[in-house]
Structure 1
Amino acid sequence: MSDFTTDRSSATGLFEAGIAHHRAGRLDEARGFYERTLAAIPRHGDALHLLGVIAIQRQQYAQAFDLICRAIEISEQAIYFDNLGSALFGWGKLTAAAESHQQAIALDPQSFRAHNNLGNVLHRMRLPAAAAASFRAAIVLNADFAEAHSNLGNVLRELAEPEMAAEHCRKAIALNPEFGEAHNNLGNALRTRGKLVEAAECYRRAQRLMPQEAQVPLNLGIVNREMGKPDEGIAYFRQALALRPSWAEAWSNLLFSLSFAEKVTPDAYLREALTFGRIACEAVRPYTAWSIDATPGAPLRVGFVSGDLRSHPVGYFLEGVLAHVDPARVRLYAYSTRPIEDALTARIKPRFAVWRTLVGLNDEQAARAIHDDGIQVLLDLSGHTDSNRLPVFAWKPAPVQASWIGYFASTGLAAIDYVVGDEWVLPPDEAGHFVERPWRLPHGYLCFTPPEPPVEIDASRREAEAPPTFGYLGDFSKVNDRVAAVWAKILRRVPGSKLFLKAFQFGNDAEREAARARFGALGIDSERLVLEGPSPRAEYLAAYNRVDLVLSPFPYPGGTTTAEGLWMGVPVLCKRGDRFLGHLCESVVRSVGLDDWIAADEDDYVAKATGFVHDRRALAALTATLRARVLASSLTDAPRFARTLEDAFAAMWRTYESAA
């Protein structure tokens, strides 16, 4: 009996020594004492549990899972289940992680940390409303829990409550000024509200506090890009990749920025994209066999993968077409990559035979779901834009894969067979810009859905004696220094003219003042600028009534904004590009027969802009008929475009079958 008491007393000392080392961050020493504790008492649940915690800290999640499960076999404690959930979360097993945290809460409903951890899992599963409820529960239990306030702020931003999000982040910072994640999340909330300068400062504070956290330079890259500083953005994206070399999100942001960087050639872009493609394929096992419905006359199974099946340019170019796709020829499947849905989502959902969400699924699970649906032709509608799931395509879940609508450069993935475009965006001499093979649709590769109800065109303000107003109603980050200089030259050559700029960046004073200073340095007085922030779509479209001629930027021109401007009766001037992206505006204006609105170079751009507004009578005659011209063009001919798309899918499939 005395020997047993001695052994237990000794084990207690060993265990307490392990805890002291653990708290001091000396993990090797702590692990040694926990192992010696177990040598004395093999069924010491706390020692097993804390060995599991050390494994979590070292990102050894499978080992952590095994150790904590052994602890639970000895004693079912709430904290054990909570940390088991953390191990599963790190391991990527989100459903099981959520169940473990829920079990912890069932055992100890007052565990504010378990509620917070459950919220983190639900957030990763792209269930923001449920995550917010868990974070709120944690705050109710502990109002001074800074981590939960920060997490709630982050998820409220996603739920379109940026002001409340900022409030919770500021509360977290007040509780813990050195909490880097709260500074980062406050930056996210401010960026959502268009307060880019303030957001950048928050990210810089976060970076000082968390120099090894890759998310922070990623966010700094995004906010710098949105402020019109693409080179700085690219540098930050490279910082993020230096910390996490295989992070797909950082790669996508880098490639998106490189696609329109002034000094990056198409060949240089492709080299970077191919590097991403190789990394994306390193840990995958691509499918080589598919279960295809071979029933004679069965419709082709076509899947769309996108996070933008909503009020978004992708949605605007899809809605009209989907209404005319023949279900006897094509059976449509939607694979949504984000939880946000709106009125446009509700309108297009019935057009799909099957609607699935990939939210909460890892890449392998998402690929399996698509493969199990027997998809024959799978289209990516995002490219390297937000909420893409390009790594899923590396698994080759469908035998034919293509990129369409959502991007304008190579994805870098050899597993994607085609890039869909037209003769204007994919000229033969630029095919080498892509790892994908070009597939050219006739009469344009976009079909614009005219807004309903129509926004009235007000021609009364286009008075011949009034000085003209040039306009650009799109993302101001596309207006690089060369574009600003060319636009300033146009304003100087047209006395009394104004430049109307409407962008989300101009929703706050700091960005408006920065734009005024930028044009002021080019000799343009601030009274010649009209700067306006974002507004609902109908109000945004009506704003074109205040413009005589739209100036499209370069090398990143407008696509959706070009179609919207033309539909509102305002002609759009663009400059000829040297790659898919640069040809985007060209494709839209050519589809309505406005070939003479494409400038050969910057000098021609200035000459055309000044010449078109000088002949006010001709300009008025064009604008008076422009909407009718758009509605009679291939740009809005949804029935014909739907047949063209069906034919393209069928031809892609025949090409695959003939090669198989």
Structure 2
Amino acid sequence: MTRANDHQFWKGQNRYNLPQPFRYISQARGGNTRRLLPPCRGLKEVAMPDLSEAQLRELLRHDPRHTEARVRLAAIWIARQKYHDAERLLAEGITIGVAHPALLLQHGECLLDLRQPGAAIARFREVLRLCPQHADALASLGGALLQVGDLTSAVDALGQAAGLLPQDAVVHELWGEALAGTEQAAAAADAFERAWQLGRQTRAIAFYCGNAACDQGRFAHAVAFFRAGSELPGGEPIPWVNWGKAYFELGDVSAATAALRYAAQDQEIAAWRNLALMIPGDPAAGPTDIAHVRKAYAQQIAVPNLPDRTRRATRSKHAGPLRIGYVSSFFAHPNYMKPVYAVLAAHDPRRVDVELFHDGPSSEEFQSCVAQSAVSIVHQVASLTNSQLIDCILGRQLDLVVDLNGYSAMERLPIYTVRLAPLVVGWFNHYATASLAGIDVLLGDANTCYADEQESFSERIQELPVSYLAFRVTHAVPDVVPAPCLERGYLTFGSLCTQYKITPVVLRTWAELLRAAPTSRLLLANRTLESPDVAHYVRDTLQSEGIAAARITLRGGGAHYDYLTNYNDIDIALDAWPYNGGTTTTEALWQGVPVLTFRGDRWASRTSASLLADGPFAEFLRGTRDDMVQFAVTLATRSTTPHYLQDLRTSARARLLESSACDTERLARSLEEVYWRLAAPGDERTGSQKG
């Protein structure tokens, strides 16, 4: 299923791990800000021909107040690293009353070389008292202030210098560092990017800009900076985790997992966490890969040395209803939790006594759901640590616990490395092995997980006789409108899947479809496309496949009700793979829009099949990718298609309610039957109930 919050897996983390002040820039040069600035910047003001050291000495012997000669000679000594001699020469000039800005500036820079930043700052400020807009003095002052840690003053001085020296790459770099140090990440990134454009292309700057671009949602820019930085010399470690995240947000999941595997070699827990999350959606990953990665991550997050405190006694036939607990971080989201809301409303309190462990904010819809259901108690657990939550669940001595989160609430996965009840089941948001020692069974159906795939799961797979995602819509949704092709005369294909599901192979397939159906259009809408950077990436990718920009419409997210009105402009919804839509599939179908998909190579690529196989849109479930493309082309070129689609829209909701996709009563009975059969084998209440 699509997560209620697209970025839930970043919860509790600094999403893009932006560098702490000077993490990259200062460390790269050992903290010596002065050496970034060209030596003897004051010489720009000294107009005299180049003379030898002997000639300059002779000039000063005849005229000790000869500023130009003094500055030039000091520059020669500085170049030879004779800093003490240069400093004495310049100080002597100041002592005899020479107050030329070039000499004062040069003396300040020499003091920086001698690691006397406080004295240097005083000299630079003398220059600015004489010439308030002296660009080089402002630049040198800003660099010195960076050294002493006065970041606020450094931002001011370097900002002024950058305005006066718009083509000076080093000044922009220093300004970026000062801004980063004062936690002005966006402004810092702008300054660093300007330095990069002006030719200051260092590994450190590239990685900072890449991290900042991630934070700003400019994921294509981030990838470009990470790639460029990785090709430059330098000791800064490649930020593989952030690079992987940027690829993931663009939908290039294979590239994302490849980057994360590099980071995982160093046993970086963030790499394993995100790899375990992303791996089911990687087209290049097989069942063995998924199981290996998730098992490795589960071992890293396991709660150590916790004794098994669950009850093991055989349940009495007459002990009353089975006591079960549902655990979720997303109970407050009615659009996402449609199957769960329906099951809670349909549960028979004579068979199951239901408790909820509500690990998130509340909502009016959730409170209404509880009021109309057989739920006996709601435990508000969002404020609990994992250890406290484990104690809370164990304290209830339940017969069975049902996890509804899967890997969408990764901060809670450690609780399933221990045993919370005699039996723990994963349902609803599980579409691959969890590989967690505390989960015994996953619930699917005949369309999602095949018998020959059991070996790639650490859990037993229990097949339900109805769609495991059967849903009912209880929240406000727009009315079904006529198929747009009736008026427009062409088909509009579309997808509201989240961007990280729209992999490069998906985009190429959609482009193939559009090329074969040249009058058709494509509409994509998701929150990530609100970034012009990502929208540009998607549009460019499609255009590189021969699809004209005029045929592509890209939209962002929005309030849920308004977001669903995108279906008013879509004739046929296109599913993503290998990570199908879940929530988006149910929403499209309820708006009367058929979802075109095929039976993929893993559970994650068959969740839509669970909803389509038995119902009014079964024809849109194809056997292969090629069959799917051909069927789409046939529809786009067939004259009867508009009326066919209109008939589907008109009757969709009534026919869905009669199908397995919305048979939530049967789903609830089937779940109860499975719960009883697993938790209390032999009990008379485990008899088959087809509902």
8 A Cα contact 2:592 2:653, kept in partner: yes
* Alignment of 1:306 onto 2:328: yes
Change (3 A) 1:241 1:619: same
Residue 438 of structure 1, CA deviation: 0.7
Pairing of 1:304-383 with structure 2 (within 5 A):
304-311=326-333, 314-337=336-359, 339-350=360-371, 351=373, 352-383=375-406
Q: Which moved more, 1:443-452 or 1:290-299?
A: 290-299
Q: Which has the higher contact order (CA 8 A, sep 6+)?
A: 2
Counterpart for residue 4 of structure 1? none
Q: C-alpha separation between the residues in 2 aligned to 1:311 and 1:593?
A: 27
Question: Secondary structure of 2:581's match?
Answer: coil
* Alignment of 1:276 onto 2:290: no
8 A Cα contact 2:357 2:381, kept in partner: yes
Counterpart for residue 89 of structure 1? none
Residue 221 of structure 1, CA deviation: 2.7
TM-score (norm 1): 0.66
Question: Secondary structure of 2:597's match?
Answer: strand
In the alignment, which of 626, 651, 655 is matched to residue 625 of structure 1?
651
Residue 393 of structure 1, CA deviation: 1.4
Q: C-alpha separation between the residues in 2 aligned to 1:191 and 1:334?
A: 36
* Alignment of 1:528 onto 2:542: no
Q: C-alpha separation between the residues in 2 aligned to 1:276 and 1:318?
A: 28
Residue 532 of structure 1, CA deviation: 0.4
Q: C-alpha separation between the residues in 2 aligned to 1:419 and 1:360?
A: 27
Q: C-alpha separation between the residues in 1 aligned to 2:186 and 2:627?
A: 55
User: Structure 2: 5+ residue runs without aligned partners?
Assistant: 1-149, 155-179, 193-205, 685-691
8 A Cα contact 1:467 1:495, kept in partner: no
One-letter amino acid of the counterpart of residue 557, structure 1: N
Q: C-alpha separation between the residues in 2 aligned to 1:172 and 1:471?
A: 34
Q: C-alpha separation between the residues in 1 aligned to 2:653 and 2:212?
A: 39
Residue 296 of structure 1, CA deviation: 3.1
Q: C-alpha separation between the residues in 2 aligned to 1:417 and 1:511?
A: 40
Change (3 A) 1:521 1:173: closer
Q: C-alpha separation between the residues in 1 aligned to 2:212 and 2:237?
A: 22
Q: C-alpha separation between the residues in 2 aligned to 1:304 and 1:210?
A: 49
Change (3 A) 1:346 1:184: farther
Q: C-alpha separation between the residues in 1 aligned to 2:335 and 2:243?
A: 25
Counterpart for residue 560 of structure 2? 537
TM-score (norm 2): 0.63
Counterpart for residue 263 of structure 1? 284
Question: Secondary structure of 2:306's match?
Answer: coil
Q: C-alpha separation between the residues in 1 aligned to 2:393 and 2:225?
A: 40
8 A Cα contact 2:334 2:366, kept in partner: no
Structure that is richer in helix per residue: 1
8 A Cα contact 1:410 1:434, kept in partner: yes
Q: C-alpha separation between the residues in 1 aligned to 2:380 and 2:474?
A: 27
Change (3 A) 1:172 1:272: closer
Pairing of 1:15-94 with structure 2 (within 5 A):
none
One-letter amino acid of the counterpart of residue 632, structure 1: E
8 A Cα contact 2:483 2:645, kept in partner: no
Q: C-alpha separation between the residues in 1 aligned to 2:181 and 2:566?
A: 33
Change (3 A) 1:391 1:544: same
8 A Cα contact 1:299 1:331, kept in partner: yes
* Alignment of 1:444 onto 2:467: yes
Give the % identical residues.
26
Q: Which moved more, 1:569-578 or 1:637-646?
A: 637-646
Q: C-alpha separation between the residues in 2 aligned to 1:479 and 1:358?
A: 34
Pairing of 1:139-538 with structure 2 (within 5 A):
169-170=183-184, 194-197=217-220, 217-245=240-268, 247=269, 250-281=271-302, 283-287=304-308, 289-290=310-311, 296-311=318-333, 314-337=336-359, 339-350=360-371, 351=373, 352-459=375-482, 461-463=484-486, 466-538=489-561
Residue 253 of structure 1, CA deviation: 2.1
Q: C-alpha separation between the residues in 2 aligned to 1:184 and 1:633?
A: 52
Residue 370 of structure 1, CA deviation: 0.8
Counterpart for residue 651 of structure 1? 677
RMSD: 3.9
Residue 291 of structure 1, CA deviation: 7.8
8 A Cα contact 2:334 2:475, kept in partner: no
User: Structure 1: 5+ residue runs without aligned partners?
Assistant: 1-141, 147-165
Residue 396 of structure 1, CA deviation: 0.3
8 A Cα contact 1:385 1:407, kept in partner: no
Question: Secondary structure of 2:346's match?
Answer: coil
Residue 446 of structure 1, CA deviation: 0.9
